[in-house]
Amino acid sequence: MTEGASLSAPYTLEFPFERTVGPKIGTFFAGLKERRLFGARAERGVVCPPLEFDPDTGAETGELVELAPAGTVATWTWARSRAGDPVARDFAWALVAIDGTAGSFFHAVDVGGDPSRMQVGMRVRVRWRGDRVGDLRDIECFEVAP
């Protein structure tokens, strides 16, 4: 082999497994398919998305609670859109505090590609995907609430 040359081969990164997601996360995903949003009761309040275990105590979380699919932006960072991203133009990754919950939901916020429209405390709502399959991407992104 000549100095500096190296072998290379095409490679596809994949995670070819199916998982059983359990009673809380499973119900949450099934809810998304029906355009319904659920959180789970924990010591600090309702957490959405629901976790199987309480982030503060480690105990099993409590019952699921249905929530309105809307909230407030707690923190955001601006991102350039790439192939496969939830929004096809530049957008914000954000932590959205869903109404009635303690904590926040990590997802994308679409403000038409204009970062000057992003603000902490702004009201947003879920934009549902048309063709839903029962996973996180059933939420296409959050959008500005009128």
Binding status of residue 108 toward another protein by CB under 8 A: yes
Nearest of 132, 138, 89, 95 to residue 114 by alpha carbon: 89
Is 97 within 8 Å of 103 (Cβ atoms)?
Answer: yes
Interface with another protein (CB under 8 A), residue from 38, 103, 122, 142: 103
Q: Taking CB under 8 A as the rule, does residue 25 contact another protein?
A: yes
Q: How many CB atoms lie within 10 A of CB 29?
A: 18
Q: Does 119 bind another protein (CB under 8 A)?
A: no
Does the footprint of another protein cover residue 55 (CB under 8 A)?
Answer: yes
Cβ pair 93, 111 in contact under 8 A: no
Asked if the bond preceding 49 is cis, omega within 30° of 0, the reply is: yes
Closest CB to another protein among residues 9, 146: 9
The answer to whether the beta carbons of residues 47 and 61 sit under 8 Å apart is: yes
Residue 59 sits in the site that holds another protein (CB under 8 A): no
CB of 36 to another protein, least distance (A): 17
Token code pair at residue 90: 């530049």
Under the rule (CB under 8 A), what is the footprint of another protein? 3-4, 6, 11, 13, 15, 19, 21, 25, 29, 44, 47, 49, 51, 55, 74-79, 82, 84-86, 93-95, 103-108, 115, 120, 135-137
